[in-house]
Amino acid sequence: MQYSIGQFSMMMDVGKKTLRYYDEIDLFKPEYVNEANQYRFYGETQISALKKIIKLREVGIPLEDIKRTKGSDDANEMSRLFLERLRDIDVTIQKLQAQKKLIQSYVDNASKEKDSKPDFEITEGFHITEGYVYYNENDISIEDIHQAINDFYHNLNGFKLLSGHIFKRNLQEEMPEISEIFAYVDAKEEDPSIRVQKKLKSVKLKCRAMAEKLNAYQQLFAYINKKGYSLSDVYEKYNMGDAGMQIDIIAAIE
């Protein structure tokens, strides 16, 4: 027996517009098309094929993936599609959970950020001191910073670090964000990775958390402008303390 598109739509609980679309993309075509009026008709044997498509669409499997299995009744192929979809769902859930935590933290901190703007103690001196440093000199983008840090510590060659790592930041528009990573070391022998760091007149403030960096930089730049100093280089020195990661932001001045 053949069914009109209206009857088949009613039986399968699928919209006529959807059936016409499936025909257009060559996913599920009618058994017969009347040449005179282009009316579509569907047969009994097509029910199982459409039920398979409905089942796959219900779990969010894309039409392109379904098209690749058209005409196949292989149970293993169906299982493969379901397992792939499960993996996609797990990845999506992880992303959504991370976004949920981030949104919650924004909501929790919104009032604090609005009502409070921490004041930082700014000191002048030679906060970049003279000494031997182990360094990696290359142009690093913010997006590559984690890999750059891993490479820095991986290639220490046994040197004993006397400080946390320090980033030298680029201010030039055409340059990547970081030009150098270095740390003070207990070493005096000559080595391609060791150089002498000269002391630099600078201003410094201590940033107690990454979330404070924006306000810290605003206050630091405002202080430099107010004093009429010329800003040359900016450094970020990372230190691990009892309260977690702290950052000394140091601006070399002239």
Q: What pLDDT, on the 0 to 100 scale, is given for residue 111?
A: 60
Q: What pLDDT, on the 0 to 100 scale, is given for residue 242?
A: 64
Average pLDDT over residues 34-44: 94
Q: What pLDDT, on the 0 to 100 scale, is given for residue 173?
A: 79
The per-residue pLDDT for range 69-78, each reduced to its tens digit, is 876 667 788 8
Q: Which residues pair with 238 in a beta bridge?
A: 247
Q: What is the dihedral of CA 200, 201, 205, 207, to 10 degrees?
A: -10
Q: What pLDDT, on the 0 to 100 scale, is given for residue 10?
A: 94
Q: How does 96-115 read in b/e, with b if 16+ C-beta sit within 10 Å? A: eeeeeeeeeeeeeeeeeeee
Please say whether the dihedral angle defined by the alpha carbons of residues 5, 11, 16 and 18, taken in this order, is positive or negative: negative
pTM flag (> 0.75): no
Q: What pLDDT, on the 0 to 100 scale, is given for residue 32?
A: 94
Long-range contacts of 211-218 (CB under 8 A, 24+ apart): 211/109, 212/118, 213/247, 213/249, 215/117, 215/118, 215/120, 216/120, 216/247, 216/249, 217/249
Q: In the numeric block, which tokens belong to residue 91?
A: 């990845």
pLDDT of 241 strictly over 70: no
Q: What pLDDT, on the 0 to 100 scale, is given for residue 190?
A: 73
Could you tell me which residues come within 8 angstroms of residue 6 by beta carbon, excluding any fewer than 6 positions away? 16
pLDDT of 244 strictly over 80: no
Point out the least confidently predicted range of 42-46, 125-129, 208-212.
Answer: 208-212
Q: What pLDDT, on the 0 to 100 scale, is given for residue 110?
A: 66
Q: What pLDDT, on the 0 to 100 scale, is given for residue 115?
A: 54
Selection from 79-83, 159-163, 220-224 with the highest mean pLDDT: 220-224
- DSSP state, 193? T
The per-residue pLDDT for range 111-155, each reduced to its tens digit, is 655 555 678 899 999 999 999 999 888 777 878 888 888 888 888
The per-residue pLDDT for range 215-240, each reduced to its tens digit, is 899 999 999 999 999 998 899 998 87
**Helices within the chain (DSSP H only):** 5-12, 16-24, 47-58, 63-68, 75-115, 145-154, 213-227
Q: What pLDDT, on the 0 to 100 scale, is given for residue 177?
A: 85
Q: What pLDDT, on the 0 to 100 scale, is given for residue 252?
A: 93
Average pLDDT over residues 87-110: 87
Average pLDDT, the chain: 87
